[in-house]
């Protein structure tokens, strides 16, 4: 058992998930960092320390999630469903929107987030927090076109957040979604205006302010509430 706050992060081997892992370690959390692919776990393993548990978990595979859950023997204070894919920014009629690619985006971003919560809910208790890393692109009023399926997946994720927050209110578990900002990662690209460190530092700061008064909301990375 550990006496630190425990945070579990999916998709923690690169991008925002890796930066959240590094920031949480600096902030003295016990961190459970998940990766799905043995070929891309190196950056996580370079952080090895006694407050970091590294676990394999593909959020689209229930067997993988069950195995991951079995390896956890502590209460989870913060569950961060960060794993996500965007198969492309093309328009709805482009090759980015083949049936296979569209199903993959929904499978990871929406169903994967539900499966993650479903397999870890028994590790959470009153005062725990579930955080979905969503996107401003899922906001209905957000201007612009393209990335049709990615936008739809994040809009669906925001809706999932609402229904799970209603389900878990009685247990005293807060459920929120966060837009991490436009962040320089493989997904965000080099022209994004935030570094992973800036996004992660602000996110962790705001996770620590969560409670039952703000369950069911979508937040920007800076802690301000966003419309759906």
Ligand X SMILES: NC(=O)c1ccc[n+]([C@@H]2O[C@H](COP(=O)([O-])OP(=O)(O)OC[C@H]3O[C@@H](n4cnc5c(N)ncnc54)[C@H](OP(=O)(O)O)[C@@H]3O)[C@@H](O)[C@H]2O)c1
Binding residues for ligand X, rule CB under 6 A, total: 30
Q: How far is the CB of 224 from ligand X (least distance, A)?
A: 15
84 lies in the site for ligand X, by CB under 6 A: yes
Distance between CA atoms of 195 and 32, rounded to whole angstroms? Answer: 22
119 lies in the site for ligand X, by CB under 6 A: no
Residues 20-49 that bind ligand X (CB under 6 A): 36-37, 40
- Residue 93 DSSP class: T
Residues 120-179 that bind ligand X (CB under 6 A): 133, 135, 179
Q: How far is the CB of 180 from ligand X (least distance, A)?
A: 5
89 lies in the site for ligand X, by CB under 6 A: no
Burial of 73 (0-12, 13-18, 19+ CB in 10 A): exposed
Distance between CA atoms of 211 and 197, rounded to whole angstroms? Answer: 24
Compare residues 54 and 192 and give the one whose CB is closer to ligand X: 192
Alpha helices in 28-147 (DSSP H): 42-45, 62-70, 99-106, 112-120
Instruction: Kindly indicate which of the ranges 65-73, 95-103, 164-172, 181-189 contains the residues binding ligand X, using the contact rule CB under 6 A.
Output: 181-189
CA dihedral of residues 145, 148, 151, 157 (deg, nearest 10)? 160
Instruction: Kindly indicate which of the ranges 6-14, 69-77, 95-103, 162-170 contains the residues binding ligand X, using the contact rule CB under 6 A.
Output: 6-14
Per-residue burial over 29-60, b = 16 or more CB atoms within 10 Å of its CB, e = otherwise: bbbbbbbbeeeebeebeebeeeebbbbebbbb
- Contacts with ligand X, residue ranges (CB under 6 A): 10-11, 13-17, 36-37, 40, 58-60, 82-85, 108, 112, 133, 135, 179-180, 182-183, 185-188, 192
């Amino acid at each position: 058992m550990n006496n630190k706050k425990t945070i579990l992060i999916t998709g923690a081997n690169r991008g925002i998930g890796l930066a959240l892992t590094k920031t949480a370690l600096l902030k003295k959390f016990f961190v459970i960092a998940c990766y799905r692919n043995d070929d891309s776990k190196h950056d996580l393993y370079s952080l090895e320390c006694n407050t970091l548990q590294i676990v394999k978990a593909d959020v689209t595979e229930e067997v993988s999630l069950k195995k991951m859950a079995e390896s956890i023997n502590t209460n989870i204070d913060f569950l961060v469903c960060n794993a996500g894919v965007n198969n492309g920014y093309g328009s709805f009629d482009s090759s980015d929107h083949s049936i296979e690619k569209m199903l993959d985006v929904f499978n990871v971003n929406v169903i994967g987030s539900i499966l993650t919560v479903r397999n870890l809910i028994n590790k959470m208790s009153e005062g725990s927090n579930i955080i979905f890393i969503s996107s401003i692109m899922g906001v209905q009023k957000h201007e612009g076109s393209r990335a049709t399926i990615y936008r739809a997946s994040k809009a669906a994720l925001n809706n999932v957040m609402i229904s799970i927050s209603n389900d878990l209110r009685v247990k005293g578990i807060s459920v929120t979604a966060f837009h991490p900002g436009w962040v320089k990662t493989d997904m965000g690209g080099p022209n994004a205006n935030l570094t992973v460190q800036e996004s992660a530092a602000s996110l962790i700061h705001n996770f620590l302010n969560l409670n039952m008064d703000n369950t069911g909301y979508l937040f920007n990375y800076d802690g301000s509430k966003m419309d759906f």
